[in-house]
């Protein structure tokens, strides 16, 4: 029998975050930018706290502040590939100071920085519909994976890292994401390649979820933090979104969205 015991908590937390997120996306500008910078800081803090639980007091908080500053500075600068390189170098510098697991920390910290920067740049460059598309992909993949995994079940996708994820849920996520992409093509005026890219980005989000699960398993923790009472931390809620946003920005820089023009993107 399918188990939906955690459905109510997931729905309620999802509604609250959706209202705040959609409102910020709708307003754009400084409102959305500030939210993205704050989230980067919180996720940087959570990552440090999770990976170095015995760190001196204030060290994790300092990492969060640095994350927020890096995103803010390089987003104001809007240097295209140079901004991504600068953020990556910032992640390397922070990882160098870590007492252990430097590579893991550096890669994931860079992902957080790229994602927060990417969300702001993509919102300003491509507009409201584009960012809503990214959010809807993540939601569709998560919803499809949740229900298909519990109703259909079957072989696990990567049991050693994420024992709850099934192949049925993974594929269902790709399919529903493609349907969402088709909707944005038909009614949102987005280019036709968005349908295939929706499935690709859904898979990217699933890998982002698995990456965070792998870090938590390595650190032997259940949640990234207790920042959201009863629902874990910010990373637990946005692990898929940060992977999607980071990859979407790179795809935009590579010219993947032929029907869209984003000011300031390198040609």
Q: Can you give the residue ranges of every domain in the chain?
A: 7-253
What is the predicted pLDDT for the residue at 13? 66
Predicted TM-score (pTM) of this structure:
0.88
Residue 156 pairs in a beta bridge with 166
Which two tokens mark 116?
Answer: 């927060």
Per the rule left: phi > 0, alpha: psi between -120 and 50, beta: everything else, 156 is beta
Is 174 in a helix, a strand, or coil? helix
What is the predicted pLDDT for the residue at 192? 87
What is the predicted pLDDT for the residue at 226? 77
What is the predicted pLDDT for the residue at 261? 43
What is the predicted pLDDT for the residue at 206? 93
CB 102 within 8 A of CB 95: yes
What is the predicted pLDDT for the residue at 259? 53
What is the predicted pLDDT for the residue at 14? 64
What parts of the chain have a pLDDT lower than 70? 1-11, 13-14, 78, 163, 229-231, 258-267
Distance CA 81, CA 98 (A): 26
Identify which of 89, 138, 172 has the alpha carbon closest to the alpha carbon of residue 247.
138
Distance CA 46, CA 223 (A): 10
Mind listing the pLDDT tens digit for each residue in 184-194? 999 888 888 89
CB 161 within 8 A of CB 210: yes
Mind listing the pLDDT tens digit for each residue in 3-15? 555 556 666 766 7
The per-residue pLDDT of the chain, averaged, comes to 86
What is the predicted pLDDT for the residue at 263? 43
Q: What is the CA radius of gyration of the chain?
A: 18
């Amino acid at each position: 029998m399918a188990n939906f015991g955690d459905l109510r908590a997931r729905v309620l937390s999802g509604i609250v975050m959706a209202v705040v997120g959609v409102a910020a996306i709708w307003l754009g500008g400084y409102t959305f930018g500030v939210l993205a910078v704050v989230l980067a800081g919180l996720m940087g803090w959570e990552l440090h706290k999770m990976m170095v639980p015995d760190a001196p007091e204030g060290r994790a908080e300092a990492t969060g502040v640095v994350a927020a500053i890096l995103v803010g500075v390089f987003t104001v600068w809007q240097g295209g590939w140079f901004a991504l390189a600068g953020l990556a170098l910032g992640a390397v510098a922070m990882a160098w100071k870590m007492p252990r697991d430097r590579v893991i920390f550096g890669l994931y910290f860079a992902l957080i920085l790229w994602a927060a920067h990417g969300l702001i740049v993509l919102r300003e460059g491509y507009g409201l519909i584009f960012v809503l598309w990214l959010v809807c992909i993540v939601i569709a993949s998560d919803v499809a994976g949740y229900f298909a995994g519990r109703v259909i079940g079957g072989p696990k996708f990567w049991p050693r890292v994420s024992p709850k994820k099934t192949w049925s849920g993974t594929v269902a996520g790709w399919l529903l994401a493609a349907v969402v992409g088709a909707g944005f093509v038909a009614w949102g005026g987005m280019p036709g390649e968005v349908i295939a890219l929706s499935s690709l980005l859904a898979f990217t989000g699933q890998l982002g979820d698995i990456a965070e699960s792998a870090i938590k398993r390595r650190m032997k923790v259940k949640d990234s933090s207790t920042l959201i009472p009863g629902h874990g931390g910010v990373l637990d809620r946005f692990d898929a979104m940060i992977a999607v946003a980071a990859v979407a920005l790179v795809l935009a820089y590579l010219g993947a969205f032929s029907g869209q023009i984003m000011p300031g993107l390198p040609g």
